[in-house]
Amino acid sequence: MKTFKCAIIEDSNTQRKLLEQIISKNKNLKLVHSSSATNQSLAKVNELNIDFLFLDIEMPVMNGFEFLAGLKITPQVIITSHDQKYALEAFEFNVTDFLLKPFSTSRFDVAITKAIDKVKAIKKKQPESKLVVKHNLKQVELNVHGILYVEALGDYVKVVTEERNYVILSTMSAFNKRLVADKFIRIHKSYIANLKMVERYNHEFLEIKNKKIPISRAKIVELDQLLNCID
């Protein structure tokens, strides 16, 4: 299961801490930002590659709808509010769910399931990009979106997908040139990673489907930039 990156925009310290605790207990979620709504926090959220946004409505500097209007990204938005009257306007912004405070953990889980289902549905609608390769003396079509990572094997490369692996006669450099530059990165002399499939990373390795892939020092800055910009 992919780890979904989250941000909280909430002016109440108590409510913010409560949400932080709930998120920390959910193995599918990773909190990357938590603050009240300001121009600075709006700019920060727009820079982050988040999947879910938990957003309050009534806040002193900037209300939730103003924050939504300023978003340049399209995360799944879950509104958290004490007042049901905001629900209709919230759904006009095409939010994923509306949580009326105080909400239970089970109700929170329902909202998360709905958000994950929407992300999966959007992903399925993406047009397939095909790559024709020779595997076991036969030509096969690979769905580029389904590639997890590519590993060097001497004069061959191993293309790893969720369904199976393909061993192809090719150099890493030649195969890398056939991939979309802003979706894949040659992260190490022996590995190419699909940025869409990265679940977590630090400055030593990234993780895709429990596979730890080393990162060369020369690629750390580029990786940071690409992961923060990828759609």
Mean pLDDT of all residues in 50-63: 95
Q: Which residue has the higher pLDDT, 39 or 141?
A: 39
pLDDT > 90: percent of the chain:
63
Both tokens assigned to 157: 């490369």
- pLDDT class for 186, splitting at 50, 70, 90? very high
User: pLDDT band for position 11 (50/70/90)?
Assistant: very high
- Cα separation of 138 and 145, whole Å? 21
> In the predicted model, what is the mean pLDDT of residues 26-53?
93
pLDDT at 124 over 80: no
pLDDT at 1: 55
Backbone angles phi, psi at 151, to 5 degrees: -125, 135
Q: Is the pLDDT of residue 123 over 80?
A: no
The rounded distance, in Å, linking the Cα atoms of 220 and 168 is 28
DSSP secondary structure, 117-144, as one string:
HHHHHHHHHSPP-EEEEEETTEEEEEEG
pLDDT in tens, 146-156: 899 999 999 99
pLDDT for 205 beyond 80 = yes
Q: How far apart are CA 168 and CA 157, in angstroms?
A: 5
pLDDT for 129 equals 79
Instruction: Inform me whether the pLDDT recorded for 231 exceeds 60.
Output: no
Out of 17-26, 78-87, 180-189, least confident range: 180-189
Task: Check residue 49 and give its pLDDT.
Answer: 79
Q: What is the pLDDT of residue 110?
A: 96
The phi, psi pair for 104, rounded to 5°, reads -85, 165
Question: Are residues 35 and 12 in contact, defined by beta-carbon separation less than 8 angstroms?
Answer: no
Distant-in-sequence contacts of 131-134, Cβ < 8 A, 24+ apart: 131/178, 131/179, 133/159, 133/166, 133/168, 133/170, 134/168, 134/169
**Predicted local confidence at residue 224, as pLDDT:** 83
* Per-residue pLDDT at 226: 82
Instruction: Give the whole-angstrom CA distance, residue 172 versus residue 158.
Output: 10
More confident residue, 42 or 122: 42
Omega before residue 102 within 30° of 0, cis? yes
Q: What is the pTM of this model?
A: 0.58
